[in-house]
Structure 1
């Protein structure tokens, strides 16, 4: 069977043009997310109490967090090193993958009296930014997060290891002034109680 040389050359030309695009496409957001699974769960729903759930996270919140880690502006054990290994485009790809995942929450023990106090504090000082009791949104996810993670995060803000988001310091200071030393534990128990 004789082949037409023109068809063979055309086929080679098409393959030659397609190959660089296939090679440069790189891994998908889902493929890159596998490196996050050990700490944040296979779908971003963390099963470890000191690691935040990132499933359903607003993509901009994810990108902002990764950029802060890359620039050593956010306290971390290893996230700053991990974030430096990804390009801006790869971080965006992962952000959209995690945003598309359904957040699964896991029951955790909490103090009902503190959670009730925290609900009142949330309504007065936090609800404007952390809407619907801290459900996923453009201010991050608080509802259902692991309580140790929330506690460590607040310690980082208060100690100055983590930069306060706009207006947050003023609101937290007001909550502490209103409720004293129980303000932060109350808020942590409230968010942890959201299942």
Structure 2
């Protein structure tokens, strides 16, 4: 076999290898990062929201992200437009987006908070919330509370308390205990505490 035949045979093998993987590459669709760009208007390009009624989702546990998106998709979670948006994505696409946001660094923005309420909120957090929301509510498998926008936390708690959002396991019992201990100031105190965490 001469050099020319060897070259043609090698080129043919390379071409066959490319053709074999091309359908998989084409069918793979957009990356999690590309799909996440559709979230930028509300949640920021990296998941660090700059709008106080929109949650920051950078650094979020990917399973928490997927669970939230599935709840929106199934109309099990109160939303303005998220339920319509979530319906556009498959389970696999949600996982890819979740891993993208999990890999992003959470950038927090200073908020105005009541120092006395935040101090009481720190005590309530330590007693009732720390077990699930570890390290003062830092990103984890129970979501992100530390540094989260206070208006968003307020709206979320209203949804839980008004029955518009399903309570996660054990959360209602803990919130009820905090309210019993601190009365009407319990929720504002916790919100101010989380808002104070940078």
Alignment partner, residue 115 of structure 2: 112
How far 1:21 sits from its partner (Å)?
Answer: 1.4
Alignment partner, residue 161 of structure 2: 158
Which whole-Å CA distance do the structure 1 matches of 2:121 and 2:18 have between them?
61
Q: Which of residues 173, 178, 187 is equivalent to 1:175?
A: 178
CA deviation vs aligned residue, 1:135-165 (integer Å, no higher than 9, x gap)? 1111110000000000000000000000000
Count matched residues: 195
Which whole-Å CA distance do the structure 1 matches of 2:30 and 2:16 have between them?
25
Which whole-Å CA distance do the structure 1 matches of 2:10 and 2:147 have between them?
60
How far 1:22 sits from its partner (Å)?
Answer: 1.8
Report the secondary structure of 2:164's partner residue: coil
How far 1:2 sits from its partner (Å)?
Answer: 10
Alignment partner, residue 79 of structure 1: 82
Alignment partner, residue 137 of structure 2: 134
Matches within 5 A, 1:1-195: 10=13, 12-195=15-198
Runs of 4+ more than 4 Å apart: 1-12
Which whole-Å CA distance do the structure 2 matches of 1:104 and 1:39 have between them?
15
CA deviation vs aligned residue, 1:76-128 (integer Å, no higher than 9, x gap)? 10111111100111100011111011111000100001101111111111111
How far 1:15 sits from its partner (Å)?
Answer: 3.8
How far 1:25 sits from its partner (Å)?
Answer: 1.3
How far 1:9 sits from its partner (Å)?
Answer: 5.1
Which whole-Å CA distance do the structure 1 matches of 2:52 and 2:169 have between them?
27
Which whole-Å CA distance do the structure 2 matches of 1:2 and 1:173 have between them?
80
Report the secondary structure of 2:69's partner residue: helix
Which whole-Å CA distance do the structure 2 matches of 1:28 and 1:125 have between them?
39
Which whole-Å CA distance do the structure 2 matches of 1:86 and 1:77 have between them?
17
Distance change (3 Å), C-alpha of 1:4 and 1:123: closer
